[in-house]
Amino acid sequence: MRNRIFPLAAFVALAITLIGSSSAAAQQTDENWPQFRGPRASGLAEGKPAPVKWNAETGENLLWKTEIPGLAHASPIVWGDRVFVVTAVSSNPNPFFRHGLFGDVDSDKDQSKHTWKLYCLDKKTGRILWERVSYEGVPRVKRHIKGTHANSTPVTDGRHVVAFFGSEGLYCYDFDGKLKWKLDLGTLDSGWFYDPDYQWGMASSPVIYKDMVILQCDVQQGSYIAAWDVKTGKQMWKTNRDEIPSWGSPTVVESTVNGKPLVQIVTNATGGVRGYEAHTGAELWHLRGNPEITSTTPIAAHDLIFVANRYRPNQPIYAIRPGATGDISLKDGKESNEHVAWSKQRGGSYQPTPIIYGDHLYIADNNGALGVYEAKTGERVYQQRIGDKGGSYSASPVASGGRIYFSSEDGEIFVIRAGPKYELLSSNPMGEVLMATPAISDGMIIVRGQKHVFAVAEKKGK
Q: 220-256 burial, b if ≥16 CB within 10 A, otherwise e?
A: beebbbbbbebeebeebbebebebbbbbbbbbbbebe
Q: Does residue 34 sit within a domain?
A: no
Question: What is the reported pLDDT for 97?
Answer: 86
At 241-274, the pLDDT tens digits run: 999 999 999 999 999 998 999 999 999 999 999 9
Other Cβ atoms closer than 10 A to 345 = 13
What CATH number has the domain bearing residue 84?
A: 2.130.10.10
Question: What is the reported pLDDT for 462?
Answer: 52
- Does residue 431 surpass a pLDDT of 70? yes
At 269-327, the pLDDT tens digits run: 999 999 999 999 999 999 999 999 999 999 999 999 999 999 988 899 999 999 999 99
Q: Does residue 19 sit within a domain?
A: no
- Does residue 12 surpass a pLDDT of 60? no
Q: Does residue 157 sit within a domain?
A: yes
Residue type, 363: I
**41 dihedral zone (left: phi>0; alpha: psi -120 to 50; beta):** left
Q: Does residue 10 sit within a domain?
A: no
To the question of pTM greater than 0.85 for the whole model, the response is yes
As to burial, measured by CB atoms within 10 angstroms (0-12 exposed, 13-18 middle, 19+ buried), residue 338 is exposed
Q: Does residue 61 sit within a domain?
A: yes
Partnered with residue 266 across adjacent β-strands are 251, 275
Whether the CB-CB separation of 447 and 62 falls below 8 Å is answered with: no
Q: Is the peptide bond before 313 cis (omega within 30 degrees of 0)?
A: yes
Whether the CB-CB separation of 401 and 416 falls below 8 Å is answered with: no
Whether the CB-CB separation of 203 and 191 falls below 8 Å is answered with: no
Question: Counting runs of H as helices and runs of E as strands, what totals does the chain give?
Answer: 0, 33
Q: Please count the structural domains in the chain.
A: 1
Q: Does residue 193 sit within a domain?
A: yes
Smallest CA-to-CA distance from 41 within 255, 316, 252, 196 is with 252
At 318-361, the pLDDT tens digits run: 999 999 999 999 999 999 999 999 999 999 999 999 999 999 99
* pLDDT band per the 50, 70, 90 thresholds, residue 29: low
* pLDDT band per the 50, 70, 90 thresholds, residue 9: very low
Question: What is the reported pLDDT for 17?
Answer: 30
User: Is residue 25 helix, strand or coil?
Assistant: coil
User: Is residue 41 helix, strand or coil?
Assistant: helix
Q: Average pLDDT of 377-387?
A: 97
CA dist 279 and 276 (Å) reads 9
CA dist 240 and 247 (Å) reads 17
Q: Does residue 15 sit within a domain?
A: no
At 180-212, the pLDDT tens digits run: 999 999 999 999 888 888 989 999 999 999 999
Other Cβ atoms closer than 10 A to 59 = 11
Question: What is the reported pLDDT for 101?
Answer: 83
Can you give the residue range of the structural domain that contains 193? 39-456
Q: Does residue 372 sit within a domain?
A: yes
- Does residue 10 surpass a pLDDT of 70? no
